[in-house]
Structure 1
Amino acid sequence: MTNFSIRLTFKYNDILLERTFTMVRLIALIIVVIPGIVAALGVKLMRDSVFGVFQWPFQSIFIQFFIGLLFFFAGVGLIGGFIFHRDKKRNKVQKRFQSRLKNANRG
């Protein structure tokens, strides 16, 4: 498998900063950003329904608020799940959240 990378170079006060981003980090950033946008859209829909502003595809304020609530929980849930999965792979979670196979092999 080929390792693709992107090299970014910045110059600030005669200091050259170089950073190489692998495609894995870029994909991880996209995985976090897209649910964040969905959660922000959910907050906007809920806020608009509280203030009585109709958005185009919705016929009632209640449906608009409910869809906004779903978008918010889906976005926050995906971000939380991604962070939890990453921490679980690196063994940075409490013992009660670790898988049972890892606990059985240790003890």
Structure 2
Amino acid sequence: MRLLLQRLAAALMLVIPGLAATYGFLAMKNAFFHQFEPEGGFQWGRFLLGLLLFAVGSAFIGGWIFFRDRKRGYVAPQFRAKKKRPRPPEP
């Protein structure tokens, strides 16, 4: 039962930012196309809120995937964790 709850919590941690990114994309789209309506202008507030939600949601999901792949060793050598070199003893 505990494993099931952990997996549910992990899934929710990905679904919530995904929904935020989706809503942000739709808000930006609606703000852009609102300017073509007869009494419409560009809705800067809605567009900037949508941009913020889209950026935060996408960055969270991208970071999640990057660190998971880094842990499993799927990333290129320049993105792998740096190994600490031992310091030479001081004289």
Calculate the TM-score normalised by the size of structure 1. Answer: 0.65
In 1, Cα distance between equivalents of 2:63 and 2:75 = 13
Deviation per residue, 1:33-83 (Å, 9 max, x gap): 111000011011111111228xxxxxx711210110111111111001001
Deviation at 1:98, TM superposition (A): 0.6
SS in 1 for 2:83: helix
Greater RCO structure (CA 8 Å; 6+ sep): 2
Deviation at 1:91, TM superposition (A): 1.3
Other-structure match for 2:2: 4
Q: How does 1:94-105 map to 2 (within 5 A)?
A: 94-101=76-83
Other-structure match for 1:64: 46
In 2, Cα distance between equivalents of 1:89 and 1:101 = 14
SS in 1 for 2:13: helix
Other-structure match for 1:8: none
Tell me how many residue pairs correspond in the alignment: 80
Which structure carries more helix by proportion? 2
Root mean square deviation of aligned Cα: 2.2
Structure 2: segments with no counterpart, 5+ residues: 36-41, 86-91
Percent identity reads: 37
Which structure carries more strand by proportion? 1
